[in-house]
Amino acid sequence: MRLLLTLLVLLGFHVHPAQGDEAMMHHSMMMDEKGMIMNANSDNLPKDCPKISGDVNITIHAGQKQALKFPGKMFAFDNQEWNVAPCSRINITFINDDQIRHQLMIHGLPGYLYPQGMFHLELYGQGELKASLIVPSQKKTYLVHCELAQHMEKGMKAQLKVDGGDGDLPSIPGISKPVKADSYPVDWQQTSWAILILCVLLGCVIPFFIIRNRS
């Protein structure tokens, strides 16, 4: 950790160690041994919001068991859509139920408040993080996903709608059609047909003999 702090200082970041170097912050990022929070915002209003319209508390679970309801998917959030009022302050509790790394990223936010237009929570394994963001008043649908390789493609994708949103994003599990649907073709060779026919025959014959023997 101290080596990482030194490298960040050499690169020009302003780093403030805390709790014996167990946690660190620079600019809009906070990091410790369990995860990272980037661009959290609980106080600064978007330019089109005269005040915070209200607080919305959301708990989001991420992991493999959340994907069981979606055939062919490996990872998912426990919900795939959230709808909030304009200028809401969203207080997110992000829970990783797996032993592997997962992220929760929200894209398309105004860059003057959220660098790169992004809000980012990340856990390196099982655990919990809490952070807030304030959404603008614009009627819009924001992408929520995990940016780790293949995690979004394998199901960890959702959407956040402000004031009902401006439509559904593609490939949201259980909500919208995929841009390119998964295909699992079967190579129907003679051997495949023979095995299929044999299985059907056995499925018909075996119950017959079981019933006959019981009689």
Domain ranges within the chain, ordered by starting residue: 1-32, 34-162
131 versus 29: which is more confidently predicted? 131
43-52, 74-83, 164-173, 178-187: range with lowest mean pLDDT: 178-187
pLDDT of res. 192:
79
Predicted local distance difference test score (pLDDT) of residue 44: 97
Q: Sorting pLDDT into bands at 50, 70 and 90, what band is 208? A: confident
> Which range (45-49, 165-169, 175-179) has the least confidence?
175-179
Calculate mean pLDDT across residues 62-85.
96
Confidence category of residue 61, pLDDT binned at 50, 70, 90 = very high
In the chain, what percentage of residues exceed pLDDT 90? 67
Pick from 1-5, 12-16, 185-189 the range whose average pLDDT is largest. 185-189
Q: Which residues of 67-104 are buried (b: 16+ CB within 10 A; e: fewer)?
A: beeeeebebbbbebbbebebbbbbebebbbebeeebbb
Instruction: Identify the CATH homologous superfamily for domain 34-162.
Output: Cupredoxins -  blue copper proteins (2.60.40.420)
pTM of the model: 0.74
Please compute the mean of the pLDDT values over residues 110-126 and round it to a whole number: 96
In angstroms, the CA 96 to CA 38 distance is 17
Q: Decide if pLDDT at 3 tops 90.
A: no
